[in-house]
């Protein structure tokens, strides 16, 4: 019975910490039970509930791809009780992990297509999972382009990996909201740069994640460019507790973001009640 208790987290150890920005850090963790770590199976886009015992649980996307199994990676922005505590952990600390939860990016349907990633701020986390997964299966996909924006040059995550991504065959377009000294890349909010770049919608899938305001304008820009609802995917975030479709708070109408999401196509979103 114990084995089936969906509220019981697996114990895990923090093995590495990367300070990404002033308020985002990445934790790399290993399940303490080597057998379970070996058997751990998930899909790109699925999330996990991380526990710091005594503080609670919070939801984060597993942002290492299933193709890289050395550890499970989570990027955490400092906001709220649990994330605040996760920012104080050290290597060797114990956390709880309930994962994988939720649905995932339908990467099978994206095979053979060009892929456009549009991300802002911490929301690069779920995109990274899919991006690396696709780069690890490079031949399955066409052109892979990433438009990634942040408030300032210091607010980008994973900068140490950008070169690897390019080498593996992704084009990167970086942008910051406002002019900054010595910034060699684009300036302007993500939807603006997206409109300027105007990637052709033909045979292309767009995957966009970001703060609600960015999503709103990015979706508008994509539609302007001729992308159909079925060609656009995004992830939703809601306050969650149980993560398993029971506790009730993350619903949009009869859909629960925790089990029916977090990944939704724009077509699915437009069939849902407008309560984002």
Partner 1 sequence: MDDKTNALREHVKGIFSNLELVLGWEPGYDPLHTRPFYVRTESDIDRLTANCLSFQNLTRYLAKSMNAVDPAADGRKIGVCVKGCDSRSLVALIQEKFVSRDRVYVIGLPCRGTLDARRIRALVPDPARIRSVNAEGDELVVETDRGISRFALDRAIARKCLQCRYPNPVIHDVLIGDPVTPRLKIDAENPSVAAVEALSLEDRLLFWENQLDRCIRCFACRNACPLCVCQNHCIMETRMPKWITQYRNMNEKFMFHMIHALHLAGRCTECGECERVCPVGIPVALIKEKINAIIYEMLDYESGIDPEAVPPLLTFSPKETGI
Partner 2 sequence: MSGKIFVAHDALSGLLDDLSKKFKVWIPQMMDQASGHIAFGVYAPGKKPELTRRSRLSPKKILFPSMDTLFKFTYVKDPKDPVRYTIDLKESFDNGPTLVFGARPCDTRGFQTFDQVFLKGQYKDVYYERRRQNTLFATLVCQDSDTACFCSSVGSGPADMTGSDMAVIPIEGGYVIEGLTDAGRKLVETSGSAPSPEQAAAAEQMKRNTAALKIGEDDLTGYADDLTRRFTDMDFWREQVSPCITCGVCTWVCPTCYCFSITDEASGMSGERMRSWDSCMFYLYTLEARGHNPRPTKMERYRNRVGHKFSYFPKKYDGMVSCCGCGRCIRTCPVSIDIRKVVKELKETADDRA
CB of 81 to partner 1, least distance (A): 5
Contact stretch for partner 1 (CB under 8 A) within 8-16, 79-87, 201-209, 244-252: 79-87
Tell me the C-alpha distance between 101 and 240, whole Å: 12
Cα separation of 265 and 232, whole Å?
6
Binding to partner 2 by CB under 8 A, coded x per residue (else -) over 5-24, reads: xxxxx-x-------------
53 makes contact, choosing from partner 2, partner 1, none, with CB < 5 to 8 Å by partner type, with: partner 2
CB of 107 to partner 1, least distance (A): 37
Q: Is 39 an interacting residue with respect to partner 2 (CB under 8 A)? A: no
Among 16, 19, 33, 81, binds partner 1 (CB under 8 A): 81
99 near partner 2, rule: CB under 8 A: no
In DSSP terms, 51 is beta-bridged to 57, 96
* By CB under 8 A, residue 114 contacts partner 2: no
**Is 80 a residue that touches partner 1 (CB under 8 A)?**
yes
Which residue is it, tokens 């077509």? 267
Nearer of residues 36 and 241 to partner 1, judged by Cβ: 241
Q: Which is nearer to partner 1, 56 or 96 (CB)?
A: 56
Asked whether 48 and 98 are in contact (CB, 8 A), the reply is yes
Q: Considering the complex, state which of residue 80 and residue 253 has its C-beta at the smaller distance from partner 1.
A: 80
Q: Scan residues 199-258 and list those touching partner 2 (CB under 8 A).
A: 211-212, 237-239, 241-242, 244-249, 251-254
Which residues in this chain contact partner 2 in the complex, by CB under 8 A?
A: 1-2, 4-9, 11, 51, 53-58, 77, 79-80, 83, 92, 94, 96, 211-212, 237-239, 241-242, 244-249, 251-254, 259, 273-276
């Amino acid at each position: 019975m114990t084995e089936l208790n969906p509220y019981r987290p697996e114990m895990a150890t923090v093995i590495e910490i990367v300070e990404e920005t002033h308020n985002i850090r990445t934790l790399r963790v290993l399940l303490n039970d080597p057998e379970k770590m070996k058997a751990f199976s998930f899909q790109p886009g699925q999330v996990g509930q991380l526990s710091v015992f005594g503080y609670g649980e919070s939801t984060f996307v597993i942002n290492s791809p299933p193709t890289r199994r050395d550890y499970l990676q989570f990027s955490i922005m400092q906001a709220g009780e649990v994330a605040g505590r996760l920012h104080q952990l050290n290597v060797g600390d114990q956390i709880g992990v309930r994962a994988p939860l939720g649905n995932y990016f339908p990467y099978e349907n994206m095979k053979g297509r060009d892929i456009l990633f549009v991300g802002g701020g911490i929301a690069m986390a779920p995109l990274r999972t899919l991006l690396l997964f696709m780069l690890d299966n490079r031949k399955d996909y066409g052109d892979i382009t990433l438009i990634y924006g942040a408030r300032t040059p210091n607010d980008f995550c994973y900068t140490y990996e950008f070169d690897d991504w390019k080498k593996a065959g992704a084009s990167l377009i970086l942008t910051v909201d406002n002019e900054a000294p010595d910034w060699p890349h684009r300036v302007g909010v993500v939807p603006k740069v997206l409109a300027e770049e105007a990637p052709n919608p033909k045979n292309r899938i767009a995957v966009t994640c970001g703060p609600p305001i960015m999503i709103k304008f990015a979706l508008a820009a994509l539609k302007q460019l001729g992308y159909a609802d079925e060609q656009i995917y995004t992830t939703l975030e809601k306050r969650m507790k149980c993560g398993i479709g029971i506790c009730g708070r993350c619903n949009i109408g009869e859909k629960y973001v925790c089990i029916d999401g977090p990944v939704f196509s724009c077509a699915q979103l437009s069939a849902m009640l407008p309560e984002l």
